[in-house]
Amino acid sequence: MSNEVFLRRLLRVQNLSVSFLQAGTFHQVTHGVDFELMPGKVLGIVGESGSGKSVTSLAIMGLLPKDFARIETGSIEFQFAGRAVELVGLSKDAHRALRGKGMAMIFQEPMSALNPVMRCGEQVAEAIRLHQPDLTEKEVQDQVIALFKEVQLPRAEVLVQSYPHELSGGQRQRVMIAIALSCNPALLIADEPTTALDVTVQATILALLRSLSESRGLSVIFITHDLGVIAQMADEVLVMYQGKQMEFGKVSQVFQQPKSSYTKGLLACRPVLGQRYERLLTVKDFLEASSEEDLKLPVQAPDIRTAHLQVLYAQQPLLEVHDLKLWYPQKEVFWQKPSYVKAVDGVSFTVFPHETLGLVGESGSGKSTIGKLVAGLQEPTSGSLSYKGVVYDQMNGAIRKLFRRKVQVIFQDPFGSLNPRMTIGEALEEPIKVHGLRKSASERQKRLVELLEQVSLPASVLRKYPHEFSGGQRQRIVIARCLAMEPEFIVCDESVSALDVSVQAQVLNLLKSLQKELGLTYIFISHDLSVVKHLSDRVMVLKAGKCEELQEADALYLHPQTAYTRQLIAAIPETKFY
């Protein structure tokens, strides 16, 4: 391959605008996107939900829904078989011919993208046969094994015979990559391919994509909401916000000297492992800032923190958990002795008033289960739990009801945790009514407005339904509903994980200020160590239902005691540019 050909760009997108049909009229969702991609390079597209990043990639793939979407302006030029092809206005059949051979795509959810009743090897073989019909069956099978090895699946010869459900999430994503590579495409579009995976697995998938890009000269468009992933993966980055292109350039350049205030905000709003800030900056701060002074982050001084911790731990503990176990019996056949799935396996800890205890771990570590056990939503197999010195098992009647009110949970999914058939007003009023906290209707109304004020929402939301709100607003509503019970202790179970980074920062700030204002105690559960560390006084690392390490948050990060914690910290794609 001559140098000149190698330097020719693979993809050039100019002034691309796409509009979607909404309520009878077309609304523009992307406004003039411009970028280009060289062979063998990785382009990261970063943006929040609704920023138009997926729409742009679907336009390139020719997968925009024909009835609802149309390309208004612009061109997409793609190098294929030695000549430039204009993709805008290309016929459906011609576009289909390009997919597979020219470009391929992998998605976020590898379980639903694979056919559950077909062996993994067969699914790859099917793609090969489709695009290379003249191969013999032996050659196809050899190629499948070779691809499985290339995507670093262990025991490739065995795994080709397995079904998708027998593989882990990371392995399934590797199978998806193998299918995408089966036709030797020049461009791979990866739409949030690691979002559903644990951090340590994510790290290995990212490394694989990077190495494939180098070994095959494959160009990758990597779509993500996570700036850390971009920093680790990409050569170039395209930042999008509300359908507009905010920035495009080399990763190092964009991260070190971001030009748009949106990018600056995006870079700043992620909690950083190395520093302890009082609060996080949000994108809004950057968009509205009038001077540099507004953007100074208040850092907590070490001596103030030490004093704060001393006061905390001099108190009587609020919650004491001793040797908590939750085992699920599993019987293959009914006469067998049951084996157990140990969701939580002997965990002990205490939580002090006004403290935040962080629980961190990967999926299956039992962190959410501990949260449910603490809130009394599940009964433990064994172990004891006492709140304010009262043992949970001995609470009855009125005390149990009071415990239910004082200990609250905020869940991950702000879409699922509100009843779709109730207005916000009804949803907020119900707990007040059930627990008899305000007797008259007018008192309750006053309280509702007060609650909404606490989470900075206007009183007009009361008459609306959940589907009329964005994720961040819904999470605020959920927090308000939780506060309606006048709780002391809140278990936040992945409460910010489903939110966009900038919204996440706002909700984290809200949680922090509410803690100060109302003297709340938190257990904060997340898979994201940097978020947990930002909020927590102490952090407990969990692995397979057991406590791996429990330490003061900063100390845990600076001096991790166990190998697993070190591995967890290392796997976090840290943006090293700021």
User: Which residues bind to another protein, rule: CB under 8 A?
Assistant: 372, 375, 377, 401, 404-405, 408-409, 411-413, 416-423, 430-431, 434-435, 463-465, 467-468, 478, 481, 485
Closest CB 560 distance from another protein, rounded Å: 32
Nearer to another protein, 284 or 464 (CB): 464
Closest CB 434 distance from another protein, rounded Å: 6
Closest CB 414 distance from another protein, rounded Å: 9
Nearer to another protein, 143 or 423 (CB): 423
Of 305, 301, 350, nearest to 324 (Cα)?
A: 350
Contacts with 55 (C-beta within 8 Å, 6 or more apart), sequence order = 18, 20, 29, 30, 64, 69, 243
Task: Specify the 3-state DSSP secondary structure of 62.
Answer: coil
Closest CB 485 distance from another protein, rounded Å: 6
Nearer to another protein, 235 or 413 (CB): 413
Residue 328 has, within 13 A of its CA and on its CB side, a CA count of 8
Q: Cα separation of 470 and 422, whole Å? A: 16
Nearer to another protein, 131 or 405 (CB): 405
Nearer to another protein, 138 or 467 (CB): 467
Q: Cα separation of 248 and 250, whole Å? A: 7
Nearer to another protein, 15 or 394 (CB): 394
Nearer to another protein, 129 or 405 (CB): 405
Q: Cα separation of 312 and 537, whole Å? A: 9
Go through 438-464 and write b for each residue having 16 or more CB atoms within 10 A of its CB, e for each that does not.
beeeeebeebbeebbebbebeeebbee
Across the chain, which distance is largest between two alpha carbons, in Å?
82
Nearer to another protein, 127 or 409 (CB): 409
Closest CB 372 distance from another protein, rounded Å: 8
User: In degrees, to the nearest 5, what angle opens at C-alpha 467 toward C-alphas 466 and 471?
Assistant: 80
**Lookup: tokens for 494:** 């992945």
Of 309, 100, 75, nearest to 185 (Cα)?
A: 100
Q: Cα separation of 148 and 130, whole Å? A: 18
Nearer to another protein, 298 or 420 (CB): 420
Nearer to another protein, 311 or 459 (CB): 459
Closest CB 364 distance from another protein, rounded Å: 18
Closest CB 418 distance from another protein, rounded Å: 6
Closest CB 14 distance from another protein, rounded Å: 34
Q: Cα separation of 101 and 162, whole Å? A: 26
Q: Cα separation of 578 and 575, whole Å? A: 7
**The dihedral formed by the CA atoms of 569, 572, 573 and 577, expressed in degrees to the nearest 10:** -50
Closest CB 196 distance from another protein, rounded Å: 18
Beta bridge partners of 223: 45, 191
Rg (CA), the chain: 26
Closest CB 482 distance from another protein, rounded Å: 8
Phi then psi dihedrals of residue 480, to 5 deg? -60, -40
